[in-house]
A and B are shown apart, each in its own frame.
Chain A
């Protein structure tokens, strides 16, 4: 085949897709979110632990998806639990993706308003961003995956440079003592780390698009491993550089860290500008991913064509981005999303897997 007509993505693309879906708003907010809950320098332990748990979740999601090759969750959920309950579950998932997409845009708009475009009306930032995303989502999963492939190396490179340069502020004492107050703070921090990994539900549809679904476990573990590693690095560098007290009081601790040092004799004295650039691009990827998942889900549940659904969802996402009134509401929305993600996780992969296991292994039914 010279011209490919099937909508499949390679393993690399799938891994990058997952990475760019998960890596996003958390880069800027995670250190504060975790530290507020943990209140000791042990945040990095929470992030690591959360990462390990998420990896297990990812494996479970891939395993259940692999039982239905070429089918997304929106198609196979109905086959496991029956059509109506399946549709309800999937609509919940779509709602979750919509809220997430709105949340991503809103946090992007807040950061842009704060750092780049003070005094600009918020819709002037949100609207062009949604439109650009619509254009990309309209192109289907292949276009999205390809854009991710372009953005991914740029973000990783600049992020690494930023952290490498901030190493001069790094003080290991800021991370001590380890487990000074016992293990409990770490457990409490787990809840807020869930938010940053929210979005890994895209796996439930992503596996269906893979050319070789057999490699999915490895691919997805790599795909989630990169953001886990980067988030860990972020937390370590930010808390190590700023100390736990200033992290808790700062709204966007990572930017504060990058702003707090200057490199003289370089084109940009501060790395804040490149960081903002890649973060914006990363948010674009995040948003497009959720937007795509939501439109895909809705079109598959309601058996509609995907393009009208995309248009239909544009105003929905816009409203969902405008619902929080203040930055603080945005953050509480974030917490809400974290809890919702947890519920969804219990409902979707876990419940589905259990029912599927019972039906196939226990009742010997053919699902």
Chain B
């Protein structure tokens, strides 16, 4: 213990201290910077109010300025409506006199949003000729007085305007204190089709669509049940959109539900363009490369998740539903695993785990073996690889980067290529360029194999977004391998493990059931055990009801 190290060592010790400190400051700074857009940090905002029940028009607190109340004076209200939204050329005001009671009334609607002109005519005919004072009285409106399936009162003029522009038919009658909203909007809809991002060979060929009510009805149509509960919310400060939380009332953990409700009600953004917006605004750690919310287009996936005690979040205007919480292993599960028999499914699932590992590590391993430790691979293999690399003028990192980046570009371009050109470009890009690059001596043929296998592996992951994460991390791993070889690769693996163990999705540790270890959930991890053995719901979700079968 007599040796005192030199100043260089103390300098390095200083660096040793500085780096984590700086990293921490950077992390905290970034976190608060990114987090400042989130309402979770700013408790004062309250832009979405929960509204129990599907009738969306009753819901909602409007953005500032304060909503304008109905004055009760027909002419004043009408002129206010005309002055605020009357300039829209697609808005129609149909003024008429109700003949029986001799009152003025106006029907306000937007072009193309009402499904049936006949119906409009009928409504008009009814209102003009048949409506009596009695049916318009307070009891009559709530009771059977009016022949409309959907009818609600707008609480204030601002909401009335918004609803009319959203597609409701608005009715303003002289002598009534409030405006009425009749006939929900019926916008155009595409036909339901197979989910594009999650195609399966076996399983229902039905995907969600862009209309929220269609999506909720698809979920309802999965089977007879009275425990599936859907609660709608509205979020968005500028343009409001409906969000629906779906869960099984007697299965879901109430604390989890409360947590999700809190986070949803704190959404603070002017417009939710896609469910990805919600995902990014409610996730636990937004600096993590790993997604903490699962997205899916498949109703069967959603309903199975609900039965596991998880919660689905559906947004109007997108076919992608969100499922929370999610763990790492769930990203590697495909619904098909359960539809096919257990033995092949288990094998395929393990294959997927192996593919994930390859997609993450293969290039890093290549770099560390070729550049640092050729002695660790079998001698003949090492010799043949080195022989093929003789003409390559770059170190293996550059070589791998060249090919990996070209593959990534090809992939990115492939999404945008027009359908008839796509496969042709794939062949040109993949085969011809690969072959030419080998012949030109830019890359070695062995590397082409490695990169191709990596690329194919990353496509075998059922969740597209999980594949994106791995693509990103692969390059980080290559960086580690380039600096420290095998040691760096192991360090990279340990860092990912450290990160994953710290990560949580809505309170569920991301690596459950591997660690924390939950043996009973292992039956659906690497293996997909026979259905007869899957008697219980996942323990990690801490469900109210744990038995799947009696």
Where the two chains meet, the residues of A that have a C-beta atom closer than 8 Å to any C-beta of B are 1-4, 10, 12-13, 112, 116-117, 120, 123-125, 127-132, 134-136, 139, 142-143, 145-147, 149-151, 267-270, 272-273, 276-277, 280-281, 284, 311-312, 314-316, 318-319, 322-325, 329, 336
Flag if A319 contacts B487 (CB, 8 Å): no
Interface pair A12/B9, CB less than 8 Å apart: no
Which residues on A sit within 8 Å (CB–CB) of B221? none
Interface stretch, picked from B156-164, B262-270, B470-478, B493-501, is: B493-501
> Residue on B with the closest CB to A329?
B3
B515 close to A (CB within 8 Å) = yes
| Distance (whole angstroms) from the CB of B142 to the closest CB of chain A | 40
- Choose among B3, B23, B498, B511 the residue that contacts A323 (Cβ–Cβ < 8 A): B3
Which residue of B has the minimal Cβ distance to A4? B507
B 158-210 contacts with A by CB, 8 A? none
Q: Is B423 an interface residue (CB 8 A)?
A: no
A123 cross-chain contacts in B, Cβ below 8 A: 9, 12
Instruction: Tell me whether A149 and B515 are in contact in the complex, defined as CB-CB below 8 angstroms, given that A124-B484, A131-B19, A281-B494 are known contacts.
Output: yes
Of all chain B residues, the one with the shortest Cβ separation from A279 is: B490
Scan B11-33; emit 1 where CB is below 8 A from any A CB, else 0. Answer: 01111110111011000000000
**Pairwise interchain contact A13-B17, C-beta atoms closer than 8 A:** no
Name the one of A1, A136, A270, A311 contacting B498, with C-beta atoms under 8 angstroms.
Answer: A136
**B517 CB within 8 Å of chain A:** yes
B72 at the interface (CB under 8 A from A): no
Q: How far is the CA of A229 from the CA of B280 in the complex (A)?
A: 48
Nearest CB of A to B195, in Å: 30
Contact A277 B484 (CB under 8 A): no
Asked whether A143 and B498 contact (CB < 8 A) given A2-B542, A325-B3, the answer is yes
* Contacting pair A269 B490 (CB below 8 A): no
Tell me if B412 is interfacial: C-beta within 8 Å of chain A.
no
With a cutoff of 8 Å between Cβ atoms, the chain B residues found around residue A112 in the complex are: 487
Partner of B486, one of A3, A116, A267, A268: A116
Docked Cα-Cα span, A214 to B397, in Å, equals: 53
Does chain A have a CB within 8 A of B378? yes
B514 at the interface (CB under 8 A from A): yes
Q: Which of B23, B379, B497, B542 sits near A150, CB closer than 8 Å?
A: B497
Residues of A within 8 A of B372 (CB): 116-117
CB-nearest residue of chain B to A274: B376
User: Cβ of A10 and Cβ of B517 under 8 Å apart?
Assistant: yes
Q: Which of the residues B20, B486, B491 comes within 8 Å of A134, measured between beta carbons?
A: B20
Instruction: Let me know if A2 and B5 touch, CB within 8 A.
Output: no
B515 touches A146 (CB 8 A): yes
A267 vs B376: C-alpha distance when bound (angstroms): 10
Whether A323 contacts B497 in the complex (CB less than 8 A), given A3-B507, A127-B15, A280-B487, comes out as no
Instruction: Tell me which residues from 64 to 94 in chain B have a Cβ below 8 Å from any Cβ of chain A.
Output: none
Min C-beta distance of A333 to chain B, whole Å: 8
Contact between B16 and A284, CB atoms less than 8 A apart: no
Selected A-B contacts with CB under 8 Å, 20 pairs? A3-B507, A10-B517, A12-B517, A116-B485, A127-B12, A128-B491, A134-B20, A135-B495, A135-B498, A135-B499, A142-B501, A147-B494, A150-B511, A150-B515, A267-B377, A269-B379, A284-B490, A319-B10, A322-B5, A322-B9
Contacts known (A116-B373, A151-B497, A268-B376); A132 close to B5, Cβ less than 8 A:
no
Report B's interface with A, CB cutoff 8 A.
Answer: 1, 3, 5, 9-10, 12-17, 19-21, 23-24, 253, 255-256, 259, 372-373, 376-379, 483-488, 490-491, 493-495, 497-499, 501-502, 504, 507, 509, 511, 514-517, 542
A3-B507, A116-B485, A132-B491 known; A143 vs B502 contact (CB < 8 Å): yes
A4 neighbours in B (Cβ, 8 Å): 507
- Residue B502 contacts which of A128, A139, A150 (CB distance < 8 angstroms)? A139
Distance of A323 Cα from B6 Cα, bound (Å):
10
What's the nearest-Cβ distance from chain A to residue B155, in Å? 36
| Known pairs A12-B517, A314-B20, A323-B5; A273 contacts B507 (CB<8 A) | no
State in angstroms the CA–CA spacing of A124 and B10 once bound together.
Answer: 14
| Contact indicator A2/B253 (Cβ below 8 Å) | yes
**Chain A residue nearest in CB terms to B380:** A269
Q: Is the CB of B377 within 8 A of A147?
A: no
Q: Which of B9, B259, B488, B495 contacts A319 (CB 8 A)?
A: B9
The complex places the Cα of A367 from the Cα of B373 at a distance, in Å, of: 58
- Chain B residue contacts of A280, Cβ below 8 A: 487, 490
Residues of A within 8 A of B491 (CB): 128-129, 132
Chain A residues positioned under 8 Å from B15 (CB to CB): 127
Q: Which residues of A contact B3 (CB under 8 A)?
A: 323-325, 329
Chain A residues with CB under 8 Å of B19's CB are 127, 131
A128 to B488 alpha-carbon distance, docked (Å): 8
Q: Is the CB of A314 within 8 A of B17?
A: yes
Output the nearest chain A residue to B490 by Cβ-Cβ distance: A280
- Minimum distance in angstroms from B522 CB to a CB of chain A: 12
A268 to B499, CA, bound (A): 29
Residue of A nearest to B10 (CB): A319
A73 → chain B, closest Cβ, in Å? 25
Known: A2-B255, A116-B373, A117-B487. A131 touches B5 (CB 8 A): no
> Once the chains bind, are B21 and A268 in contact (CB under 8 Å)?
no
Chain B CB within 10 Å, residue with most, of A12, A312, A314: A314
Q: Known A-B contacts: A13-B516, A136-B494, A267-B378. Give 6 more (CB < 8 A).
A: A2-B255, A117-B485, A147-B497, A150-B497, A273-B486, A311-B21
Cβ contact within 8 Å between A3 and B255: yes
Contact A323 B16, beta carbon cutoff 8 Å: no
Q: How near does chain B come to A312, taking the closest CB pair, in angstroms?
A: 8
**A132 surroundings in chain B (CB, below 8 A):** 491, 494-495, 498
> From residue A209, how far is it (CB to closest CB) to chain B in Å?
14
Chain B residues in 8 Å Cβ range of A3: 255, 259, 504, 507
A147 partner, pick from B1, B486, B498, B504, beta carbons under 8 A: B498
The distance from the CB of A362 to the nearest CB of chain B, in whole angstroms, is 39
Contacts of B484 in A (CB 8 A): 117, 120, 124-125, 128
A322 to B9, CA, bound (A): 7
CB distance from A201 to the nearest CB of B (A): 20
Q: Which residues of B contact A143 (CB under 8 A)?
A: 498, 501-502
Smallest beta-carbon distance A364→chain B, Å: 42
Whether B490 lies near A131 (C-beta < 8 A) is no
Q: Give the 7 A-B residue pairs with the shortest CB-CB distance, closest first.
A: A3-B507, A149-B515, A315-B13, A146-B501, A2-B255, A146-B515, A136-B498
Residue numbers in A under 8 Å from B487 (CB-CB): 112, 116-117, 125, 280
Q: Which residues of B contact A276 (CB under 8 A)?
A: 486
Contact A149 B514 (CB under 8 A): yes
Contacts of B259 in A (CB 8 A): 2-3
Separation of A336 and B490 alpha carbons in the complex (Å) = 30
If A116-B485, A146-B511 touch, does A2 touch B16 (CB 8 Å cutoff)?
no
Given contacts A128-B491, A135-B498, A13 and B517 within 8 Å (CB-CB): yes
Contacts of A272 in B (CB 8 A): 376
**Nearest CB to that of A115 among chain B residues?**
B373
* Cα A322 to Cα B515 with chains together (Å): 34
* CB proximity of B297 to chain A, nearest CB, Å: 28
Docked complex Cα distance between A13 and B501 (Å): 13
Docked complex Cα distance between A67 and B517 (Å): 28
A9 to chain B minimum Cβ distance, whole angstroms, is 9
Cα distance A284–B376 when bound, in Å? 22
Residue of A nearest to B486 (CB): A116
Chain B residues with CB under 8 Å of A1's CB are: 255
